[in-house]
Amino acid sequence: NNNSNNNHELLKNYTLSLNKHAQIATYDSATQAEKILTLLENKTTRRQKGGRYLNVILYATVINVWANLGNANRARGILDRMLVGLEQRTEEQEVEGGGGGE
CA-based angle 84:85:87, to the nearest 5?
Answer: 65
- Please give the chain's pLDDT, 102 residues, in tens: 676 677 777 778 888 999 999 999 999 999 999 999 998 888 765 555 545 567 888 999 999 999 999 999 999 999 999 988 777 766 766 776 655 554
Q: Which whole-number Å values give the CA distances from 100 to 14, 93, 97, in the listed order?
A: 36, 10, 8
Is-contact 41 81, C-beta < 8 A? yes
CA-based angle 30:32:36, to the nearest 5?
Answer: 115
Is-contact 22 8, C-beta < 8 A? no
pTM value is 0.76
